[in-house]
Amino acid sequence: MDVRSGLRSIDARLALTKLAGYPFALATWVGEDGYPLSVAVDVTVDTNSGTASFVVPGGLVMPSAGEMSLTGSHIRPQPGVGYDERRHVTLWGGLDRDRAGWITVRPTAAWGWDESEEPFPEYVERSVGQSRRYLGQLSSELGRTVRPRLSAGWLFLRATRLPFLSAAIVPVTIGIAIAAVGGLFDPLTALLTIIGAASAHLAFNVANDIFDTRLGADELNVNPTQYSGGSRVIQYGLVSMRGMQGLLVLFLALAVSIGLLLFALSPSTQLLVIGVLGVILGVGYTAPPLKLVYRGLGELTIAVGFGPLMLLGAYVVQSGGPIDVAAVVASLPVAILVALILYVNEVPDRPGDSRAGKRTLVVRFSRGTVIALYDVAIVAAFAIIIIGVVLRVLPLPALLAVLAAPLALRVHRGLNVSYDQPYALMAVMATNIRIHLVVGLVLLGTYLSVLLVQALAPGRSLFLP
């Protein structure tokens, strides 16, 4: 099935039932002059015989044979907004006309759209193929390539999925802050670390789009949202595959160059291992031969990459190699929460992912297991922070992260209620992303407050006694 064919054919009998629900229908035919002509008629639908009949309107010469269409159309006006409840159905069929002035249409084909059955974003997504076809024809007509456009800034934001950069910035800045608390801080390498990690993250986002397109996952996903389903810039023709490959090379080259520079400035085996492993996991997340996300290892990969690797990588740049246990412990809740971003964002993607053979955990598990695993993981993230504070590994203010727990309850409830509604899940996904950000900022703020106390009140401790 071409999921991007746009127009949705409907079974003619089902369409007849739908037509019966409209207060009137439009009978449309093509006159002898070649113009179509529509007129409102009151139809009588007989689903048993599969026909729709109406009395020939007065004063019009209607065909006595051939084919005719019947259309039902509905909206609900919404003053100040426009309208909603959009739905329409059109049926075609041969017609019979009797002496009493009745025309009977026997529909053989039908199409239509009902936004209560197919949400508008999905209808749009299913119509992308038609838009590509049209622009191809238009390019031929005009003798120049016509492409959809966005301003450079918006296009960059969309192609790189820039707003997700917090997933890299949070662990890196925490790693730098923990090192600073231990008296290890160099502003130049700290800045380079942030830029390098951001470049790597953007490279991995672009790589994900390239390989999900090549492997068919993005093409088969007709329910992308603001938070899931990739950037779609290739599918929409906003950026060519070649353009995205160029962007990947650019960001990857920048990230690797900065990584090498940092290694030169602060050489250590730990940094080398973290850097190499980071690139392998980042690219191999989607790219063959590893295709980790296709094998149910995507969540673990993201947890390792955007938790310990980012945080400890930033830490060892400052420390020159040694790793503090506080950095390891702090990286764990961050790892779990970033993996949960991916995990929840995979929920609306699962039909397309399943079709493309992308066997994420959400594809593999039942709804109940998926939600239970979310609960276990989110509790574990908060528990690690509490235990870390109790064991005096993490400073006391880190407990403020628990204030984000109500957000987790909202995600739990949202998953239960909207599991099968991709667009209703958008608010759930946004809340889930906020948990990672809030907890990350609390941990960052915790170490900044430790630094402040060190500066203003030496000897005072923010750890449990």
Partner 1 sequence: MSWLPPAVIGLIDIALVAEVSVVRSDGRPMTYPLIPMWDGERVLMTSSILFSRKLEHIKKDHRVCLSLSDPVALQGRQDRATIIGDAAVIDGDPHVDWERVLPLWAAKEPVILQLLKSRVAFPLFFERAVIEVTPRRVLYWPDGDASAEPQTSVEPATALAAPVADARTGVPA
Q: Which of 44, 49, 130, 140 binds partner 1 (CB under 8 A)?
A: 130
Residue whose CB is less far from partner 1, 372 or 427: 427
Residue whose CB is less far from partner 1, 76 or 460: 76
The stretch among 146-154, 333-341, 414-422, 437-445 that binds partner 1 (CB under 8 A) is 146-154
Phi and psi for 267 in degrees, rounded to 5?
-70, 135
SS3 40: strand
142 binds partner 1 (CB under 8 A): yes
CB of 229 to partner 1, least distance (A): 12
Which residue shows structure tokens 């099968």?
Answer: 420
CB of 104 to partner 1, least distance (A): 17
Q: Which of 135, 169, 438, 448 binds partner 1 (CB under 8 A)?
A: 135
Instruction: Give 410's contacts (C-beta < 8 A, 6+ positions apart).
Output: 428, 431
Tell me the number of residues near partner 1 by CB under 8 A.
63
41 binds partner 1 (CB under 8 A): yes
146 binds partner 1 (CB under 8 A): yes
Instruction: Give 210's contacts (C-beta < 8 A, 6+ positions apart).
Output: 234, 241, 244, 245, 248, 286, 287
| C-alpha dist (Å) from residue 161 to 216, 219, 309, 380, 437 | 19, 18, 21, 28, 16
131 binds partner 1 (CB under 8 A): yes
SS3 240: coil
Residue whose CB is less far from partner 1, 86 or 410: 86
427 binds partner 1 (CB under 8 A): no
Residue whose CB is less far from partner 1, 80 or 183: 80
Q: Which of 77, 97, 103 has its CA nearest to residue 25?
A: 103
Instruction: Give 264's contacts (C-beta < 8 A, 6+ positions apart).
Output: none
The stretch among 8-16, 66-74, 169-177, 354-362 that binds partner 1 (CB under 8 A) is 66-74
Q: Which of 106, 101, 123 has its CA nearest to residue 114?
A: 123
Measure the CA angle with vertex 182, ends 180 and 185; round to 5°.
30
CA 202/CA 209 separation, integer angstroms: 11
Q: Which of 30, 194, 250, 448 binds partner 1 (CB under 8 A)?
A: 30
57 binds partner 1 (CB under 8 A): yes
CB of 166 to partner 1, least distance (A): 18
Residue whose CB is less far from partner 1, 173 or 345: 345
CA 223/CA 126 separation, integer angstroms: 9
Q: Which of 130, 172, 455, 121 has its CA nearest to residue 311?
A: 172
Binding site for partner 1 (CB under 8 A): 6-7, 24, 26, 28-42, 55, 57-61, 67-69, 71, 73-77, 80-83, 86, 88, 90, 92, 124, 127-128, 130-131, 133-135, 137-138, 142, 146, 148-150, 154, 157-158, 226, 236, 238
